[in-house]
Amino acid sequence: MFKLLIFVGMTVGGWAGWWLGEQFSDGLGLPLFLSGIGTLAGIVAGWWLAKKIEE
């Protein structure tokens, strides 16, 4: 369960960060940076949710 939720959070967070970065920039720098931040946030959110489900 942990790995699945972390994977889903990582994918959704990365996509959301990339989408947000493309709204404010024409280059690759900002979308890439925000995608990394979104990926990290998704990992944390997936881990947190999996931990809450396991309790």
The string of pLDDT tens digits covering residues 1-55 is 999 999 999 999 999 999 999 999 989 999 999 999 999 999 999 999 999 999 8
Q: Is the distance from CB of 37 to CB of 16 less than 8 angstroms? A: no
Q: Write down the pLDDT at residue 55.
A: 86
N-term to C-term CA, the chain: 12
pTM here? 0.90
Q: Write down the pLDDT at residue 49.
A: 97
Using only C-alpha atoms, the chain has a radius of gyration, in whole angstroms, of 13
Q: Write down the pLDDT at residue 48.
A: 97
